[in-house]
Amino acid sequence: MKKNYFLFLLAVLPAFILQAQSFTAAKDTVKFEGKSTAGEINGRIYLQNTSSSTLKLRVTRVIESMPTAWETSFCNQTHCYPNIVDSADFEVSPNGQNYLLVHFYPNNADGDGVVKLKVSDVDNPQVSYELTFIGKTATPLMVEENSFIELSIYPNPVRDILTIELNNQKDVPYIIYNSIGMAVHSGYMASASNNIKIDVSSFDKGFYFLQFGENKEQITRKIIKN
């Protein structure tokens, strides 16, 4: 009897362990938009490891539709992949979070893009999600450009402190991306302020993109770090 019980445990225990290695997605679809003149537009979906062990996930990309001029790539929280990569594995720490982010690079072309990412537990493939990323761009109206007409960024190239000046009437978000599309710094310029100073001394040398504003009121500027 004890032997049979032991054999039963050996049979069900691996399945129980695999079942415990699960994760959830915050949503299954994200929509985002921007100007066709922007360097990029992007959207992200967060993933939650609900287990107490490190989880290995596999993501597979399917480009469903996209204007011919567009390019796209995807990232997780720690790594961005070249646009030729369609599949990758990554880990999520015990009870931790990670995210998947899709970049669209519109290259001045209007249109809609749809990318699907299938993400699954490598050790338990039946636990999976299909995440849909929908991006849209349009040619900016001149009145929208005028809202950023007084935007000033200096010095550029920059070594230590980057100053941004703008006579804004509302809080304006900004994000700095490195050359492979990974966000390295973000924040807000408050409506009560007309300038902010960002310490970039710890940034690696190279070029970066400052995305200023959101939705239809958005502009991207190139920054060079010496």
Last residue of some domain: 108, 138, 168?
Answer: 138
This prediction has a pTM of 0.57
Question: For residue 184, what is the domain's CATH number?
Answer: 2.60.40.3080
Structure token digits, residue 44: 């992200």
Residues 134 and 201 reside in one and the same domain? no
Q: Which of 74, 71, 41 is nearest to 60 (CA)?
A: 74
pLDDT of residue 145: 44
pLDDT tens-digit series, residues 140-179: 543 344 455 467 888 989 999 999 887 766 778 888 888 7
Tell me the one-letter amino acid at 10: L
Are residues 162 and 128 part of one domain?
no
The one-letter code for the residue type at 155 is: P
Domain residue limits at 207? 142-225
Low-confidence ranges of the chain (pLDDT < 70): 1-21, 139-150, 168-169, 192, 214-217
Q: Exposure pattern of 40-52 as b/e (b: 16+ CB <10 Å)?
A: bbbbbbebbbebe
For 43, the enclosing helix (H) or strand (E) is: strand 41-49
Domain boundary among 138, 169, 200: 138
CATH of the domain at 111: 2.60.40.10
pLDDT tens digits, 61-74: 999 999 999 999 99
